[in-house]
Amino acid sequence: MSTLIAVGTSRDRSEIVKALVYGGPRQVAVADVADPRVETPLDAVVRITTTNVCGSDLHMFEGRTNVEPGTVLGHENMGVVEQVGPAVQRVKVGDRVSVPFNIACGTCRNCNTGWTSFCLRTNPTDGVDGAAYGYANMGPYPGGQAEFLRVPYADFNLLKLPPGDAHENDFALLSDIFPTGYHGTELAGVGPGDSVAVFGAGPVGLMAAHSAFLRGAAQVFVVDKEPDRLRLAKQIDATPVDFSQADPIEAIMDATSGLGVDRGVEAVGYQAHDPTGDEHPELVLDNLVRVVRSTGGIGVVGVYVPQDPGAATDLAKQGRIAWDYGTFFSKGQQMGTGQAPVKRYNRELRDLIIAGRAHPAWIVSHEIPLDQGPVAYDNFDRRLDGWTKVLMHPTR
């Protein structure tokens, strides 16, 4: 039996590393975990310089998924390659890289057509196409809210970045939320001169607003109720709409002379709620159907799940959302959905950052060491004012 020989540093393989680990609803803690290693010839190990807390991590944090205790969290990662397997040729030790949250083989039917978010080979979970780091139902892959991360199919998945530490906070958003926000505008069909409504001013919604302007939108409305998020939307010349103060449908229809917007992006997901905090999973979908003009497009990048035991209604517990499909059909609207295939966009978005045309890091509110991660989760989950996007630096 041959021995797998990795190329790179020779750290003690019995060494343990620090990571943020899920312990149960609203419980995350820094713990010692096994040191990630090269397990197949196509693997790389990345030393994590920046890893982020994502809004979708909160679904797990709140106990609204079946994620197992002991899972290392974190799917928004970047860093420096520390080791590579013997079959890795393009990526070299010392390369600075962005790690897409999708784990893709690069050779299956979906990967070959650009849908790396639905890779047919990387997730053994029955009925689920597509894999990710540290996420419920997305395969057996530890996350990157840790000092080191194993990356399968490294040559295919890793995006090289310029050496050094320039644009670190901007590049940190290339692993998920910037491409996901852009994907929302792609699904919606945003083009030059369009008017756009983005529901949800969390990190993904703000990235969708930024992306809409990059694609030439003339006007972008951003709907939320959190003042700090709406202030960030205003900073990029989007029009903030506070749904706790006014009906967002009326506000947008009035601002568009009753025509509605050309395109809409759903960046909230299945835990949508009204101003009082009551959940209505159909709320944002219904609002978009009403506010987008006939024949307009809607992109849905907020997370929806097949089962939600913690939902407010029996129907929603089964993943069934009773939304206004009749009006959607009668208006001849189009809708695209699903997780973003990060590799479809990340190279171009990287180059827009380098050229100074894109600046996604304007939403970053906090940079902290890994050991402050539990506090960050709690503050982000409680929507404390000013906690809009948290970056952790495990090894920088």
Work out the burial of residue 231: count CB atoms within 10 Å of its CB; fewer than 13 is exposed, 13-18 middle, 19 or more buried. middle
3-class state of residue 360 by DSSP: helix
Exposure class string for 153-162: b at 16+ Cβ within 10 A, else e: bbbbbbbebe
CA distance linking residue 242 with residue 234, whole number of Å: 12
Is the Cβ–Cβ distance between 147 and 47 less than 8 Å?
yes
Look at residue 7 in the predicted model and tell me its pLDDT.
79
Over range 132-153, report the average pLDDT. 96
The answer to whether position 1 is within a domain reads no
CA distance linking residue 127 with residue 118, whole number of Å: 11
Could you tell me the pLDDT band of residue 10, with boundaries at 50, 70 and 90? Answer: very low
pLDDT tens readout for residues 197-251: 999 999 999 999 999 999 999 999 999 999 999 999 999 999 999 999 999 999 9
* Whether residues 356 and 327 fall in one domain: no
Over range 334-355, report the average pLDDT. 98
Which of the listed residues 290, 307, 337 is the one where a domain comes to its end?
337
Could you tell me the pLDDT band of residue 29, with boundaries at 50, 70 and 90? Answer: very high
Look at residue 209 in the predicted model and tell me its pLDDT.
98
CA distance linking residue 97 with residue 36, whole number of Å: 17
Is the Cβ–Cβ distance between 21 and 57 less than 8 Å?
no
The answer to whether position 23 is within a domain reads yes
Residue 55, token pair as written in the block: 């809004």
CA distance linking residue 338 with residue 187, whole number of Å: 9
Look at residue 3 in the predicted model and tell me its pLDDT.
57
Could you tell me the pLDDT band of residue 146, with boundaries at 50, 70 and 90? Answer: very high
| Closest to 330 in 3D by CA, of 290, 280, 281, 282 | 290
Percent of the chain with pLDDT over 90: 91
* Whether residues 147 and 204 fall in one domain: no
Is the Cβ–Cβ distance between 336 and 300 less than 8 Å?
yes
Measured from the Cβ of residue 325, the count of other Cβ atoms closer than 10 Å reads: 14
| CB neighbour list of residue 390: distance below 8 Å, 6 or more residues apart | 52, 53, 365, 366, 367, 368, 376, 380
The answer to whether position 2 is within a domain reads no
pLDDT tens readout for residues 177-190: 999 999 999 999 99
Look at residue 312 in the predicted model and tell me its pLDDT.
83
Could you tell me the pLDDT band of residue 308, with boundaries at 50, 70 and 90? Answer: confident
Res. 2: pLDDT tops 70? no
CATH of the domain at 358: 3.90.180.10
CA distance linking residue 291 with residue 283, whole number of Å: 12
* Whether residues 23 and 95 fall in one domain: yes
Beta bridge pairs of residue 301:
none
Res. 1: pLDDT tops 50? no
Is the Cβ–Cβ distance between 292 and 330 less than 8 Å?
no
Residue 27, token pair as written in the block: 């419980």
pLDDT tens readout for residues 257-289: 999 999 999 999 999 999 999 999 999 999 999
* Whether residues 23 and 64 fall in one domain: yes
Over range 299-321, report the average pLDDT. 91
* Whether residues 77 and 127 fall in one domain: yes
Res. 14: pLDDT tops 60? no
Split into its structural domains, the chain has a count of: 2
| Closest to 272 in 3D by CA, of 239, 232, 225, 326 | 225
Is the Cβ–Cβ distance between 64 and 381 less than 8 Å?
no
**pTM of the shown model:** 0.95
Could you tell me the pLDDT band of residue 307, with boundaries at 50, 70 and 90? Answer: confident
The answer to whether position 165 is within a domain reads yes
Residue 329, token pair as written in the block: 């059909």
Phi, psi (rounded to 5 degrees) for 278: -75, 135
* Whether residues 65 and 158 fall in one domain: yes
* Whether residues 131 and 249 fall in one domain: no
Over range 98-108, report the average pLDDT. 98
Look up tokens 């693997």; give the residue: 43
The answer to whether position 197 is within a domain reads yes
The answer to whether position 172 is within a domain reads yes
* Whether residues 88 and 231 fall in one domain: no
CA distance linking residue 265 with residue 180, whole number of Å: 11
**Mean of per-residue pLDDT scores for the chain:** 95
Res. 167: pLDDT tops 60? yes
The answer to whether position 97 is within a domain reads yes
Res. 12: pLDDT tops 80? no
* Whether residues 140 and 192 fall in one domain: no
Which of the listed residues 337, 358, 374 is the one where a domain comes to its end?
337
* Whether residues 167 and 187 fall in one domain: no
* Whether residues 290 and 229 fall in one domain: yes
DSSP state of 67: P
Which of the listed residues 337, 356, 372 is the one where a domain comes to its end?
337
E strand intervals along 25-74: 27-34, 44-53
CA distance linking residue 200 with residue 198, whole number of Å: 6
* Whether residues 193 and 308 fall in one domain: yes
CA distance linking residue 203 with residue 180, whole number of Å: 10
Q: How far is CA 213 from CA 80, 169, 291, in A?
A: 31, 20, 19
CATH of the domain at 184: 3.40.50.720
Measured from the Cβ of residue 193, the count of other Cβ atoms closer than 10 Å reads: 10
The answer to whether position 40 is within a domain reads yes
Range of the structural domain that residue 73 is part of: 7-176+341-392
Res. 11: pLDDT tops 70? no
